[in-house]
Amino acid sequence: MNSPASDIKAIENELKKTVSVAGAILYHLGLADYMGHCSARVPGTDHIVIKPRHSVSVHGMGTVEPDRMIVIDMDGKPVEGRDGPPAEIFIHTEIYRARPDIGGIVHTHQMMTTAFGVVGRPILPILATESPHAARPFPVYCDPDLVNSPARGKALAEALGDHDTVHIQNHGVVFTGPTVEEATLASIHIERLALLNYFSLQLGTPNVIPQEKISEMLKGNRVGYPVRFAYYKSLLDTGALSARSIVGAPPIAQHLNLTK
C-alpha cells in the first residue's frame, strides 16, 4: 500500500532536516568542508534527499539549511529544489540502486581515513565502540577521479559490495548505513579509529580486537545510534563543536579539539 503524497512530503521534510544536521556535524568536526555530501533515501519511493552542489550561494556543509536541500530520483534528475545536484550524484544513485538495505550515504575527504586508503593500509579494530566498523578491511575503488557518471557510480557500488565503507583511493571515503544518521556516525567513528591507528603505530604494534570478541560485544546492551547522533546534535545546538575555530591548525589538531 502506497503512502499518501502528504505523508511522503512530511517524511522528505524530516529527512531534509536530518541531512542538514548530519552535514553540519561533519563540518564542525573538521571532517568535511564545502566539498562532500550527505543523502538519505526516502522510504517507499525512488526519491533521494541530498545536499545540493556547492556554488556561490551554496557553501560548506555546515551552512546548508533544510530548505536548500534538494530531492532527486534514482537517475539523478531533479524532483524538487532550486539548486542542482552534486557532480558526484552517481555515488548515491548507484549505491542505493545496488543496495536496497542502505538508507543513508555520506561522502567526505576526511584526512586520516583517506590517508589510510592512499597507502592501502587497513584501519585496524582497536577501539571497543568503533571496532565493529572495521571488523573487515575496507574495499578500495582505485579511480581517484570524480564519480560523475553512471558507469563510475556502478563501479564504485561494485567495489563497495556488501561492505558499509569504501575508500575512493587518493580522493576520499564513502560511508553507508541503514540511515543517514548511522552513515554519519560511521564517518566519525572510523576517523577516530584511523587516528588511534596512526598514533598507536608510532608507538609499537597495536593490539587488535579479535573478530569473535567484536561479535560478542555487539550482542551486549549497547547505546543505539539515535542516542549517539543526538549527542553530536546537542553539541551542534549548543555551539560546543569547536574544531572550525582553530584557525590555521593542522588537521590532526582540529580532530583532537572536537569540543570545548
- Let me know the angle formed at the C-alpha of 246 by 231 and 236, rounded to the nearest 5 degrees: 20
User: Any bridge partners for residue 40, and if so which?
Assistant: 49, 104
Architecture of the domain spanning 5-256: 3-Layer(aba) Sandwich (3.40)
In the predicted structure, residue 74 carries a pLDDT above the cut 90: yes
The whole-number pLDDT of residue 248 equals: 41
Burial class (CB in 10 A: 0-12, 13-18, 19+), 104: buried
Pairing of strands 37-41, 172-177: unpaired
Q: Please state the rounded mean pLDDT for residues 246-254.
A: 43
Which set of grid coordinates corresponds to residue 21? Answer: 544536521
Q: Element (H or E) spanning 251, and its range?
A: helix 251-256
Digit-coded pLDDT (tens) for 22-65: 999 999 888 988 889 999 999 999 999 999 988 877 777 888 89
Which set of grid coordinates corresponds to residue 213? Answer: 570478541
240: Cβ contacts below 8 Å, ≥ 6 apart:
234, 259, 260
Q: Could you state, in order of their start, the residue ranges of all structural domains in the chain?
A: 5-256
- Concatenating the DSSP letter of every residue in 104-172 gives EEEEE--HHHHHHHHHT------STTTGGGGSSPPPEE---S---SHHHHHHHHHHHTT-SEEEETTTE
Q: Which residue has the cell 532550486?
A: 82
In the predicted structure, residue 1 carries a pLDDT above the cut 80: no
Q: Distance between CA 175 and CA 164 in Å, rounded?
A: 6
The whole-number pLDDT of residue 260 equals: 33
3 state SS of 259: strand
The whole-number pLDDT of residue 245 equals: 47
Which set of grid coordinates corresponds to residue 212? Answer: 569473535
Q: Distance between CA 178 and CA 171 in Å, rounded?
A: 24
The whole-number pLDDT of residue 54 equals: 83
pTM greater than 0.95:
no
Distances (CA, A) of 63 to 52, 59, 68, 161: 12, 6, 10, 33
Digit-coded pLDDT (tens) for 105-122: 999 999 999 999 999 999
